[in-house]
């Protein structure tokens, strides 16, 4: 086959812009954004290789083993400083190529090629195929196709600025020993990815001697580009069109009845016999064919390889001009996103020093969140609005108020009697019978009160005490209850009660304290634990590191929660089973006041009672005392003493639980769970522990390497586009 140099064409391209776009391809920027490009697609045996031969004036190998098995980017560059055409070849690794293999492929070059005759072209492609790791023989276990790109740069004084990308031809049927169903799917996806690029001009190569509607590539182009705004269709093999069907092809190319926006171009390539003879000049044969009827009626701007090349230059130039600013903006946005993504990964963590620095940064952020949460400085971050569990101080104070209210309302077993006079001068047997009836009544009408307001997290269930509900205090039975206890425990005391009785009564009267106190402290533990989890998630977004950190500190957290429960139990034991004791003057003041009110009320009650008896006896009366009167006085004294001491002890217990257990051990004290995650914790970690907690796994290392490469490529792209 004889190939001639193309004649110089009018300079319609914009060399500076086109060269910038080509450099973006060379630096793999097309891996990250869509770039303006001309993509040659077609089915096998569609004449695609012949079209490329016509454009490049190079004889592409036709050995079936060396058919297009990877994308080829062909760049034309006019260089008036050169006397002859020069061809250079290189390889652009695919986006999924490993770093070491990518360096190997990028290191391959074939420079200073004055021409590529069929034999040297075949040798070069065989070398490229081997470098790409493609199969050489059937069933050798190597892939048949690659995502790498062969780059051919053609420079010379007669060339025009143009670049096209040739992708492997699609096929419907596999060839045993050469292609598989997996190969077919790979090629379909590869071709589709190029065609879907919204900045691509699709050069769809279709044989003229077949029904266009049956060509898969044409249907795919119509699906992707239904308005035909970026699809230029090239009809090949017009010399093989059946007699009588030529006029239909001519009408299609000239645009009559065609809905394609970019239209059609007809080219006539050399046939098989002409190629074998090797004496036919391609362009001359095409020119001679164009003078035959009915092909001489085809619009000259739509016939021939030179018309196609001119049209491609126009399309590529207009596309690049139109898309250049958006490409530059997109490169800037992608670069910003990549930098944000690598920043989110934190510093590199391959060495112990890097790992320690990373954890110290996490600690600093965690403690900053904690400080703002405890000082109610919620305006420092929107996270306090997004995550209510971060408002720890507010949550704890509100729960503290509920705790105080619950203790005041439900902490006592019996409601205290507000009446201060004696029980009355009733018959003791009658009173005992009435008292027995009262004590035997059930409490079915009492309301059940939940002592826990929050749901416990699963990991805390073994630490937090079981939830126990309480009921409303019993009303109107306290004196009967006290009298029963007194009568069943009285000794040889005269006019008083045993000092051991008050602790017994106090323990029973405060029987709801453990449930309410445990419910309160369980809720505060839950609040603190949720805060720790959320703050740690914000300070350490990487799930694996956060999970490892929690694994390390969880035992410490649970130990601190258990310590708090023990502190509450300690306070309960002191208040409920220890010796009643207080220096609070309210005890004696309240007791003295109630005694004075009791004496006045009781005297009035006695006088009235005796007057009633005198009227009934119609004679003078006198006050008589009985053993029942002494018991009533003692019961009343016990009631008032218990009431006065219970009030003082309740306030003291509530304050101690809130200040010691909740505040000091859980929230603000140096023993709080938040103190576990500190700079000293990080400093004390061994190198092995640092690696276990903060060491990068293989996936993260790959991700960081990918982002670094992406940033490096996009930085270069930004420089190119300046």
Give tens-digit pLDDT for 158-177.
Answer: 777 778 888 888 777 777 66
CA angle 208, 219, 272 (to 5 degrees): 30
416 and 643 Cβ atoms separated by less than 8 Å: yes
Confidence of residue 552 (pLDDT cuts 50, 70, 90): very high
Distances (CA, A) of 200 to 229, 286, 629, 658: 10, 28, 109, 70
Domain boundary among 336, 369, 396: 336
Residue that wins the pLDDT comparison between 243 and 442: 243
3-state helix, strand, coil in the chain (%, to 5): 55, 10, 35
Alpha helices in 208-304 (DSSP H): 216-224, 246-254, 272-277, 282-290
pLDDT higher than 80, residue 493: no
What is the average pLDDT across 99-115? 80
Q: How high is the pLDDT of residue 106?
A: 86
Residue that wins the pLDDT comparison between 699 and 694: 694
Residue 351 within any structural domain of the chain: no
247 shares a domain with 130: yes
pLDDT higher than 50, residue 448: yes
Q: How high is the pLDDT of residue 587?
A: 87
Q: How high is the pLDDT of residue 440?
A: 44
pLDDT higher than 80, residue 247: yes
Residue that wins the pLDDT comparison between 615 and 655: 655
Q: How high is the pLDDT of residue 573?
A: 96
372 shares a domain with 331: no
Q: How far is 73 from 577, CA to CA, in rounded Å?
A: 90
Residue 215 within any structural domain of the chain: yes
Q: Rg for the chain (alpha carbons), in Å?
A: 47
Residue that wins the pLDDT comparison between 332 and 75: 332
Which residues touch 24 (CB under 8 Å, ≥6 apart)? Answer: 30, 35, 327, 717, 720, 721
213 shares a domain with 111: yes
638 and 416 Cβ atoms separated by less than 8 Å: no
152-161, 274-283, 324-333, 614-623: range with lowest mean pLDDT: 614-623
pLDDT tens digits for range 506-546? 999 999 999 999 999 999 999 999 999 999 999 998 888 99
Q: How far is 28 from 365, CA to CA, in rounded Å?
A: 38
First to last CA, the chain: 44
Q: How many domains does the chain have?
A: 2
Residue 510 within any structural domain of the chain: yes
pLDDT higher than 60, residue 466: yes
Crossing angle of helices 501-509/543-577, nearest 10°?
A: 140
Residue 181 within any structural domain of the chain: yes
396 shares a domain with 328: no
pLDDT higher than 50, residue 432: no
Residue 274 within any structural domain of the chain: yes
Q: How high is the pLDDT of residue 113?
A: 66
Q: Please state, rounded to an integer, the average pLDDT across all residues of the chain.
A: 84
The percentage of the chain sitting over the pLDDT mark of 90, rounded to a whole number, equals 41
344 and 541 Cβ atoms separated by less than 8 Å: yes
Query: Among 647, 643, 627, 637, which Cα is nearest to 602's?
Result: 637
Confidence of residue 434 (pLDDT cuts 50, 70, 90): very low
CA neighbours within 13 Å on the CB side: how many for 409? Answer: 14
Residue that wins the pLDDT comparison between 599 and 98: 98
The dihedrals phi and psi of 204, each to the nearest 5 degrees, come to -90, 115
Q: How far is 46 from 216, CA to CA, in rounded Å?
A: 11
Q: How high is the pLDDT of residue 615?
A: 52
Q: Is this structure's pTM higher than 0.85?
A: no
Q: How high is the pLDDT of residue 307?
A: 92
332 shares a domain with 371: no
462 and 559 Cβ atoms separated by less than 8 Å: no
- Quick one: CA torsion of 680, 681, 683, 684, rounded to 10 degrees? 110
533 shares a domain with 650: yes
Q: How high is the pLDDT of residue 260?
A: 63
Q: How high is the pLDDT of residue 45?
A: 82
pLDDT higher than 60, residue 274: yes
Residue 1 within any structural domain of the chain: no
Residue 719 within any structural domain of the chain: no
Q: How far is 447 from 75, CA to CA, in rounded Å?
A: 87
Q: How high is the pLDDT of residue 338?
A: 94
Q: How far is 36 from 316, CA to CA, in rounded Å?
A: 7
Which helix H or strand E contains 343, and what residues bound it? helix 305-344
Residue 353 within any structural domain of the chain: no
Whichever domain contains 73, its CATH number is 3.40.50.300
Q: How far is 125 from 59, CA to CA, in rounded Å?
A: 12
> Given the DSSP bridges, would you call strands 86-92 and 109-113 parallel, antiparallel or unpaired?
antiparallel
Q: How high is the pLDDT of residue 603?
A: 61
Three-state helix/strand/coil letters over 485-497: HHHCCCCCCCCCC
Domain of 535?
A: 359-685
179 shares a domain with 48: yes
Confidence of residue 436 (pLDDT cuts 50, 70, 90): very low
pLDDT tens digits for range 287-337? 999 999 999 999 999 999 999 988 988 888 898 899 999 999 999 999 999
What is the average pLDDT across 75-92? 83
372 shares a domain with 314: no
pLDDT higher than 60, residue 5: no
- Quick one: CA torsion of 536, 537, 539, 542, rounded to 10 degrees? 120
Q: How far is 632 from 479, CA to CA, in rounded Å?
A: 9
630 shares a domain with 561: yes
310 shares a domain with 169: yes
533 shares a domain with 619: yes
382 shares a domain with 315: no
């Amino acid at each position: 086959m004889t190939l001639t140099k193309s004649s110089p064409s009018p300079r319609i391209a914009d060399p500076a812009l086109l060269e910038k776009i080509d450099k973006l391809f060379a630096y793999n920027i097309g891996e990250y954004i869509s770039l303006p490009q001309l993509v040659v697609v077609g089915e096998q045996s569609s004449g695609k290789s012949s079209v490329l031969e016509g454009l490049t004036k190079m004889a592409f190998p036709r050995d079936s083993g060396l058919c297009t098995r990877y994308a080829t980017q062909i760049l034309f560059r006019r260089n008036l400083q050169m006397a002859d055409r020069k061809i250079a070849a290189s390889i652009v690794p695919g986006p999924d190529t490993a770093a070491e293999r990518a360096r190997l492929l990028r290191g391959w070059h074939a420079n200073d090629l004055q021409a590529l005759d069929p034999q040297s072209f075949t040798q070069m492609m065989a070398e490229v195929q081997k470098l790409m790791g493609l199969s050489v023989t059937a069933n050798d276990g190597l892939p048949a196709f690659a995502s790498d790109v062969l780059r051919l740069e053609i420079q010379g004084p007669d060339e025009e600025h143009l670049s096209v990308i040739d992708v492997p031809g699609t096929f419907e049927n596999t060839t045993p020993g050469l292609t598989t169903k997996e190969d077919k799917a790979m090629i379909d996806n590869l071709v589709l990815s190029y065609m879907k690029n919204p900045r691509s001009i699709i050069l769809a190569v279709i044989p003229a001697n077949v029904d266009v509607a049956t060509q898969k590539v044409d249907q795919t182009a119509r699906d992707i580009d239904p308005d035909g705004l970026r699809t230029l269709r090239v009809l090949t093999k017009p010399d093989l069109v059946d007699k009588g069907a030529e006029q239909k092809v001519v009408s299609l190319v000239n645009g009559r009845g065609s809905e394609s926006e970019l239209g059609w171009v007809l080219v006539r390539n050399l046939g098989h016999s002409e190629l074998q003879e090797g004496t036919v000049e391609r362009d001359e044969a095409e020119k001679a064919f164009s003078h035959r009827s009915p092909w001489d009626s085809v619009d000259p701007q739509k016939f021939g390889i030179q018309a196609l090349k001119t049209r491609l230059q126009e399309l590529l130039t207009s596309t690049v001009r139109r898309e250049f600013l958006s490409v530059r903006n997109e490169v800037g946005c992608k670069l910003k996103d990549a930098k944000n993504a690598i920043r989110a990964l934190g510093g590199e963590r391959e060495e112990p020093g890097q790992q320690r620095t990373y954890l110290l940064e996490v600690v600093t952020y965690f403690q900053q969140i904690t400080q703002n949460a405890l000082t109610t400085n919620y305006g420092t971050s929107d996270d306090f609005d997004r995550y209510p569990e971060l408002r720890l101080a507010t949550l704890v104070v509100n729960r503290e108020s509920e705790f105080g209210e619950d203790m005041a309302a439900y902490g006592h077993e019996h409601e205290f009697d507000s009446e201060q006079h004696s029980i009355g001068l009733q018959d003791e047997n009658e009173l005992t019978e009435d008292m027995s009836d009262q004590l035997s009544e059930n409490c079915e009408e009492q309301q059940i009160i939940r002592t826990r307001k929050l749901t416990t997290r699963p990991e805390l269930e073994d630490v937090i005490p079981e939830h126990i509900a309480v009921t409303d205090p019993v009303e109107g039975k306290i004196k009967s209850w006290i009298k029963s206890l007194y009568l069943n425990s009285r000794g040889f005391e005269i006019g008083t009660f045993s000092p051991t009785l008050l602790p017994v009564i106090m323990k029973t009267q405060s029987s709801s304290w453990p449930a309410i106190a445990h419910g309160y402290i369980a809720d505060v533990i839950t609040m603190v634990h949720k805060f720790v989890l959320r703050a740690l998630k914000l300070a350490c977004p990487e799930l694996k590191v956060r999970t490892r950190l929690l694994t390390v500190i969880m035992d410490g957290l649970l130990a601190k929660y258990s310590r708090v429960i023990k502190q509450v139990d300690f306070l309960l034991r002191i208040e409920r089973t220890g010796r009643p004791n207080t220096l609070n003057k309210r005890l004696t003041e309240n007791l003295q006041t109630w005694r004075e009110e009791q004496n006045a009320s009781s005297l009035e009650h006695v006088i009235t009672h005796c007057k009633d008896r005198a009227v009934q006896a119609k004679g003078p009366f006198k006050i008589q005392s009985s053993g029942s009167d002494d018991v009533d006085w003692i019961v009343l004294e016990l009631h008032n003493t218990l009431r006065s001491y219970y009030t003082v002890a309740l306030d003291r217990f509530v304050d101690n639980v809130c200040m010691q257990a909740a505040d000091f051990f859980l929230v603000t004290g140096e023993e709080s769970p938040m103190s576990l995650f500190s700079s000293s914790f990080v400093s004390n970690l061994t190198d092995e522990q640092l690696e276990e907690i903060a060491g990068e796994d293989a996936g993260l290392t790959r991700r960081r390497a990918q982002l670094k490469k992406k940033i490096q490529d996009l930085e270069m792209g930004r420089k190119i586009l300046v």
